[in-house]
Amino acid sequence: MSEDRLIYLPLGGAGEIGMNCYVYGYGKPGAERLIVVDLGVTFPDMDGTPGVDLILPDITWLKENRNRIDAIFITHAHEDHVGAVGHCFEQLGAPIHARAFTANIARGKLSEYGIGEKAVRTASKWPETVQAGPFRVGFLPISHSIPESSALVIDSPAGRVIHTGDFKLDTQPLVGEPWDPALWSEVARPGVLALVCDSTNVFSEHPGRSESSVGPEVEALVAGAKQMVVATTFASNVARVKTLAEAGERAGRSICLLGRAMRRMIEAAVETGVLTSFPKVIAPEDVTQIPRENVMLIVTGSQGERRAASAQLARGKFNGIEMKEGDLFLFSSKTIPGNERGVIRIMNMFSEQGVDVIDDSGGRYHVSGHANRPDLETVQDLVQPQIVVPMHGEHRHLREHVKLTQARGRKGVLAVNGMMIELSGNAPRVVEHVETGRTYLDGSVQIGALDGVVRDRIRMALNGHVVVTVILDEEDAPLGDPWCDLKGLPETGRSHAPLTDVLEEDLSQFIGRAGDKTLADDDKLEEGLVRVVRNTCQSEIGKKPEVTVVVSRLA
Amino acid sequence: MSEDRLIYLPLGGAGEIGMNCYVYGYGKPGAERLIVVDLGVTFPDMDGTPGVDLILPDITWLKENRNRIDAIFITHAHEDHVGAVGHCFEQLGAPIHARAFTANIARGKLSEYGIGEKAVRTASKWPETVQAGPFRVGFLPISHSIPESSALVIDSPAGRVIHTGDFKLDTQPLVGEPWDPALWSEVARPGVLALVCDSTNVFSEHPGRSESSVGPEVEALVAGAKQMVVATTFASNVARVKTLAEAGERAGRSICLLGRAMRRMIEAAVETGVLTSFPKVIAPEDVTQIPRENVMLIVTGSQGERRAASAQLARGKFNGIEMKEGDLFLFSSKTIPGNERGVIRIMNMFSEQGVDVIDDSGGRYHVSGHANRPDLETVQDLVQPQIVVPMHGEHRHLREHVKLTQARGRKGVLAVNGMMIELSGNAPRVVEHVETGRTYLDGSVQIGALDGVVRDRIRMALNGHVVVTVILDEEDAPLGDPWCDLKGLPETGRSHAPLTDVLEEDLSQFIGRAGDKTLADDDKLEEGLVRVVRNTCQSEIGKKPEVTVVVSRLA
């Protein structure tokens, strides 16, 4: 007869930055009641996931244990925390709890799946709490680069866990609640078993900077601009959007928001009351009515996304608006690793238009939303947890965060996706390994990362694709010659004859020489034809393509 | 009757960083005698050039004017300056001139194409010169991150041009010649018509740092290491490799070089006398004989390249050597934009092995090889050219460099690939636009960037590929049903039936309904079948694949 236990299980976000999904459980081993914290997405790239639209955590384990899930909690409205609610909700079927702004965004995502508003319950902030099975969960305000980011205070019979969500220590975040050490201290007073903590900026050695430090810099920049000013940042960074807009307003400019996400976020912030004042904005169609030196656009696309407003402006007109020589474009943002090429492409397109591009390389026009190393130390020392479990980081971040924790004389646990950790009992320990991974949203279908679909795409992209067609009659005799269709391959190679001709000649010879046994056997025939194509291509063009053989037998 | 003129024509490297290839000409318009400066490559990526091995400048214009080329000059041995000599030499057929170290590397590349040593002539440094048609060209020593980098002093009847090549102002480069302002001043004294100048670091506001500043930092780091130390940098940065090796030696460690390029570069540097002292190295097979705290490896793969030594160590054993918990891995390098994901992947694999990874985020263990903004100003002011032509930069770099030049009261010319600029005469002006672009080395074949081959690969990678086969008899009647082969597509979609079955059913219905005219016409039939596949896929899986239709008509 085993004891009740408290478990922690990351299914996404531990060992990567993105796709956050964490599970807590309390009860008898294997029968714990569960809560889910965050259901985020991560973004595909051409290198590893060509053609994929969105990457979701693999929630197979949760689906198998669906009847044990009492609730889903969303800490804040960033895509890597809330982005998968629409895709996963019906597979889990538990109520979603979030604060007003986050709930607003989550409801928008659910409505795309035809799921009603009631799926999301708006939670009040700490000290109010939500009861979910054996857990009592409170939303503890914390500053971040989006309004109403919250840590979760998760109480169970085994003790109190604080799950930080994403955070920074900002006493002047401009929009949303400031970092409140007195409040956190009070929450920590009864004793905290585990601090499950954001690790993103563990390698940043200096204390983090306040959102309020950006304003004066932006204001000076905009005040000095001679023509139109365009600024981009993450739409969800409502405080930043406000800072940008106010800088424009003070310089006597009319403000226009461009890009669906930009308008959506400001709308949500106003609707939910987190944004109480914002400069008057004009509609995109009115921009051209105003002298360009009196306009400031705030646009989506800080990461160089091809379809966002910034990219469209770089390519030409967007909403009837065009950039001109002497305009200023400001990236009030950091480029996320992997997005450099896209951002640089846009910078150069603007340069070709004569637009002056300012980025954050000098550190003036952007601050991070995550706690730096000294800030992580501050929080640990204030909360005094028995255990620290780093999350929201790649392996190197988690490992460094554990080292930092140990250096302060505390227990640190390096838990990556799939490791079920018992937090209760004498020492934290791994009690199970759960299969995890990634699910791809591909068009309208969810496919497994290991299904081979994307692997085949990558192979076609690297090697090209040859289709060989052979028709055999009722007696397995070839009807005419085999032929080839090439896709993604050069037309001619070493011999300067068309590659198709060379291949068809070699395939015909193979068929001519093939014995009855080969001709009667689809597998053998295919094997032989594939070999011919690959060898001939290797010799002609120096690479071995993917091959599809279509054998048609007339019945 | 037109006058002789001096022209400058970038075919690669102006409007991009990489693939450098510049042409100078002197003579009657359209009949100028030509010299080529640098023949470099750039590297493919999955985003834009999947499956491509190497990207070369499109030298069509040079081939068409082959009989006018008197010589090829290579400024230094970086791949983006010398990498294409093997692939292009026979198409140009002019002698290559380079200093000893560069010539050594160039000969290695030519020998892969079976081209003999004599194709490359070893040049001495300034004040010696090479006569090439109407040009007299001297190799003027300058510091950079590779030995014997040289600016070219290009004299023609129209005046003196200084083509900087890649450079920094380093009075203590450790290996190779230091920046020598007195020498440059002397060269500039007769008057310089044009300074054609590296623009890479025009956005870096502080003066560049000397290679010699890295040594003490590395030494302190290595001295404090407890287990094996592994460091990576560009193999061609011979000074850095030496600095790393000497730091290891001083800490009592045996040095081992891992990776073909690392050994090749040090060998070339020793052979050509640019490297006169280097710590004794041990063979990879001897490493495991020595206690790991007495070993330092210097390895290839600072950019996360999958096949380089660093990546292989990250994945497991390489040359019998394995990383262990407590080892130290140093990136004595900067990550080139676009390579971040690969580098981060390796960092995380090392983290999983318990290896401590140090990178250059603190600016201690790497310095750039390019002149920063104040250094560019220093050189301009020293050389006092009539015209500055920025090169070796993306559009934004060139534009900023022109602005910098104009701010100093000089003429700056923004010339991107394909713009032929007349430097002689009253003012620099564009006299012609030459078609330029990129040539892909794909396996063993050179293909044009616009041939559509790579576009088709990208489309297959994004959309998947469906092959439809239909057989018609002598009277255009279908023989059996059409069928489908899918590659890179999910097996099932909305209806939960196999996608192949759904497609074949819809295709059969289409064929059943098709009139005689459609069945008799390959184009119409194909058009209809493609439409069916794309519509059905859109409805089943939410995306429209690439489609290849194979119609077989029995004769």
The whole-angstrom distance between A157's CA and the closest CA on chain B is 34
A323-327, A352-356, B447-451: least confidently modelled range: B447-451
Q: What is the 3-state composition of chain A as percent helix, strand, coil, each rounded to the nearest 5?
A: 35, 25, 40
pLDDT tens digits, residue range A180-203?
Answer: 999 999 999 999 999 999 999 999
What does the block give as tokens for B324? 């262990």
CA A499-A503-A509 angle, to 5 degrees, is 150
CB-based contact A355:A328 (threshold 8 Å): yes
Q: Tell me, what's the pLDDT at B501?
A: 97
B150 pLDDT band, cuts 50/70/90, is very high
Fold held by A5-206+368-448? Metallo-beta-lactamase; Chain A (3.60.15)
- So where are chain B's domains? 5-206+368-448, 212-358, 464-553
For residue A533, the chain B residues in CB contact (below 8 A) are: none
What does the block give as tokens for B67? 């009989």
pLDDT at A532 over 70: yes
Q: How many CB pairs under 8 A join A and B?
A: 199
- A-proximal residues of B, 223-282, CB under 8 Å: none
pLDDT at B494 over 80: yes
Q: Tell me, what's the pLDDT at A2?
A: 67
Query: Could A51 and B492 be called an inter-chain contact, meaning their C-beta atoms sit closer than 8 Å?
Result: no
Instruction: Write the DSSP string, B40-77.
Output: --B---TTT-TT--EEEE--HHHHHTGGGEEEEE----
pLDDT at A507 over 50: yes
The whole-angstrom distance between A398's CA and the closest CA on chain B is 9
The whole-angstrom distance between B158's CA and the closest CA on chain A is 31
What does the block give as tokens for B257? 């070089």
pLDDT at B362 over 90: no
The closest CB to that of B396, out of A348, A445, A491, belongs to A348
Cα B373 from chain centroid (whole Å): 23
pLDDT at A1 over 70: no
Q: Are strands A69-73 and B120-122 parallel, antiparallel or unpaired?
A: unpaired
Torsion of Cα atoms, A168 then A174 then A176 then A178, to 10°: 50
B427 pLDDT band, cuts 50/70/90, is confident
What does the block give as tokens for A46? 């051409």
**Which residue in the block uniquely carries the two structure tokens 């069916």?**
B532
Q: How far apart are CA A42 and CA B344, in angstroms?
A: 16
Average of per-residue pLDDT values in chain B:
96
A338 pLDDT band, cuts 50/70/90, is confident
pLDDT tens digits, residue range B306-333?
Answer: 999 999 999 999 999 999 999 999 999 9
B360 pLDDT band, cuts 50/70/90, is confident
pLDDT at B256 over 50: yes
Q: Considering only CA atoms, which of A131, A301, A192, A328 is closest in space to residue A247? A: A328
Q: Are strands B438-442 and B429-433 parallel, antiparallel or unpaired?
A: unpaired
| Global model pTM greater than 0.90 | yes
Which one of A466, A487, A554 makes the best mutation probe of the B interface by having the most chain B beta carbons within 10 Å? A487
Q: How far apart are CA A439 and CA A445, in angstroms?
A: 10
pLDDT tens digits, residue range B22-32?
Answer: 999 999 999 99
B1 pLDDT band, cuts 50/70/90, is very low
pLDDT tens digits, residue range B449-478?
Answer: 999 999 999 999 999 999 999 999 989 999
For residue A399, the chain B residues in CB contact (below 8 A) are: 351, 354
Q: Are strands B438-442 and B419-422 parallel, antiparallel or unpaired?
A: unpaired
For residue B494, the chain A residues in CB contact (below 8 A) are: 444-445
Find the closest chain A residue to B452 by CA distance: A488
Interface check A550 vs B, CB under 8 A: yes
Instruction: Write the DSSP string, A514-553.
Output: --HHHHH-HHHHHHHHHHHHHHHHHHHHS---EEEEEEEE
Task: Among 3.10.20.580, 3.30.200.20, 3.40.50.2300, 3.40.50.300, name the CATH number for the domain at A464-553.
Answer: 3.10.20.580
Q: Tell me the mean pLDDT in the region B387-410.
A: 98
Higher pLDDT, B555 or B204: B204
Task: Among 3.40.50.10710, 3.40.190.10, 3.40.50.880, 3.40.50.300, name the CATH number for the domain at B212-358.
Answer: 3.40.50.10710
